[in-house]
Amino acid sequence: MKIYCVIGDERVNRSLSPRMHNSVFSRLGMGSMYIAVNVNPATLGKAVDAMKCLGFSGVNVTIPHKEAIIPYLDCLSDEAATVGAVNTLVFQSGSAIGHNTDVGGFGDLLDFRGFNPEKSDVVIVGAGGAARAVICSLNDRGARITVINRTLEKTIKLTENLGGSPAPLEDAPKILEKAMLLVNTTDVSEDSGGSELASILKHAGPLRRLKLVIDINYGRTNNIWSLLAQRNTAEFHDGLYMLAAQARRSFNLWTGLKPDMNDFLSPLGLS
Ligand code: ATR
């Protein structure tokens, strides 16, 4: 039996990836299995070696390991090297190769929404691994990007590296006025009280140019990004479609197969 997994921290136990991939394996009669594994950041290198030794057939990498795993890999795809983050491992002749299917997955979501960001102003909130993938995807599509983040130094470094303009969180209301697309890549989607980001968003607007708001998280109630979209009569999309799209791309790297998108969406209740 071929074994696949997703590695993350304790949050990995809530991942929908096992449900999605196991459903596709079963539908295609492949007799493979996909599990979630909680890996301590201190033993990440040992975990990569163990997965190689145990003959794992493929691995997804999620928060908080997407950037930290890079030093433990044998090589990177060009895309993963540009992004500086890895969400998929392929094992080939004893080597662990890092790929990034989040870039393509985000592009698939834009295509699904029929949204072309070329020469449009796009605002990305956050400056972590997820933001890096979104920036690369939007660079490929010719968007004008501004990155807003709580820690400005991180944003400056990120934009020097990948392109786009950096801006501090407090400038968000002004910068959002020109945005046609707004993408949240932080894990803040709810107003749990005391969140500076939530409070800034509450007072932003009216945002007359805003057409689409994407929150790459999913399953969040009282979503502050959805409320912002509603207030400004913009469309809203959460991260479920992107989750399915990146999974399909990882599946293709592991198996060479490209099952129908609905095979990945239906286990999420989406098709
Ligand atoms: P990922 O790999 O999923 O992108 P990450 O690398 O931990 O995760 O990045 C998370 C991003 O969300 C960071 O940019 C973080 O801001 P900082 O750079 O200031 O740490 C942002 N973030 C997390 N919690 C936040 C909060 N409560 N308010 C604003 N930004 C937050």
Establish whether residue 130 lines the binding site of ligand 1, counting it when its CB lies within 6 angstroms of any ligand atom: yes
Quote the CA–CA distance of 224 and 211 in Å, as a whole number: 16
Question: Domain ranges in the chain?
Answer: 2-100+244-268, 104-238
Helix extents (H) in the chain: 17-27, 44-53, 78-83, 102-113, 129-140, 152-162, 172-176, 196-202, 224-231, 240-255, 261-265
DSSP 95-159: EEEEE--HHHHHHHHHHHHT---TT-EEEEE--SHHHHHHHHHHHHTT-EEEEEESSHHHHHHHH
For the Cβ of 192 lying below 6 angstroms from any atom of ligand 1, the answer is no
Residues with a known catalytic role: 66
* Residue bearing tokens 């990177």: 76
Q: Which ligand 1 atom lies nearest to the CA of residue 130?
A: 4
Q: Band the pLDDT of 202: cuts 50, 70, 90.
A: confident
**Domain 104-238 classified CATH 3.40.50.720?**
yes
Q: Does domain 2-100+244-268 have CATH number 3.40.50.10860?
A: yes
> Cα–Cα distances in Å, from 53 out to 40, 73, 139, 253?
18, 14, 38, 20
Query: CA 107, CA 133: separation in Å to the nearest integer?
Result: 10
Q: What is the CA radius of gyration of the chain?
A: 19
Top pLDDT among 256 and 200 is at 256
Summarize pLDDT for 48-91 with one digit per residue, the tens. 999 999 999 999 999 999 999 999 999 999 999 999 999 999 99
Would 2-100+244-268 and 104-238 be classified into the same CATH topology?
Answer: yes
Q: Is 52 in the pocket of ligand 1 (CB under 6 A)?
A: no
pLDDT in tens, 152-197: 999 999 999 999 999 999 999 999 999 999 999 998 999 887 788 9
